[in-house]
Structures are given as C-alpha cells and as structure tokens.
Amino acid sequence: MVRNFNLSKTKIISKQCHELGLINFDTLYNYVIKLPYGRNSNRSDYKLILEEHKGTCSTKHAFLKAIAIENDIEDITLCLGVFKMNRDNTPKITAILDTYDIDYIPEAHCYLKVDNTIKDITFNDRKQPVFAASLLHE
C-alpha cells in the first residue's frame, strides 16, 4: 500500500473521486487496482478510467500520479521502464520467442514508485511485479 491522504474536495479530478465515494488515496488506489485491464477510448485521457471503468498500465498509473500532483503529494513517482519480457515473466509469449529463437522482447511498462518500491496496479492481483527483476532501463 502507499501513503494515505485525503483527497481535495475542490480540485477537479479529486472532486470527481469524491462523487464516487473515493475520499482518500487508499480507497482510490484500491478502486483503481480492481478496474479491469483495457484500453480507453482516448489513450491520452487518463481520466477516462473513471467513466469507462477500465485502464491500462499507462492510464491507471497516470491517473493516480495526477491525483498525487493535484493534492500536493510529491513522493509518488510515475515511472516508465523497459524490461525483458521473457518466458519466465510472460509465459504466454513462449511460442513467439521459440519461433524466432530469442530470449526476450524489450517491453515498455508504466508503474508507480513510492519510497523506491515499485507499485504496479495494472492487473487486479497483488503479486509482486513480474517485470522488476528484468528491468533494462527506467
């Protein structure tokens, strides 16, 4: 979990959260992690996760970072990492890797960092991020 704080009742995005009963960062974080993975109708509008009830690694984490900024919280960092997507962390791509005789595919992924700890809420599971051990660049 990340540090909890109350959301503003007057700032634009935080006010939308209040209207949904999401009054602090903890409740919002737990709400967003439960949203299913899915591309939003406009990839550049991270606020659509509330309206469309879904999001990607980019939109979910950008939304939470925007909330942190709006509430003057500076210790939540939005990160983009490139990792080695391989047989161990993404078993579904094994056939592709075998076909082309390669060990991994470089893959970009968005996530948050709090106190130098990766927080990845892309999918509705609370496992440790599978990509962390294979980060090439952040």
State pLDDT tens for residues 65-118. Answer: 999 999 999 999 999 999 999 999 889 999 999 999 999 999 999 999 998 889
Q: 55-90 as b/e, with b when 16 or more CB fall inside 10 Å?
A: bbbbbbbbbbbbbbebbeeeebbbbebebbbbeebb
Determine which helix (DSSP H) or strand (DSSP E) holds 41, and give its type and residue range.
Answer: none
Please report, rounded to a whole number, the percentage of residues in the chain having pLDDT higher than 90: 85
**4: alpha, beta or left, given left = phi > 0 and alpha = psi -120 to 50?**
beta
Q: What is the pLDDT of residues 43-52, one digit of tens each?
A: 999 999 999 9
Coil, helix or strand at residue 82: strand
φ, ψ (nearest 5 deg) of residue 32: -65, -40
The pLDDT value recorded for residue 21 is: 96
So where are the chain's domains? 12-137
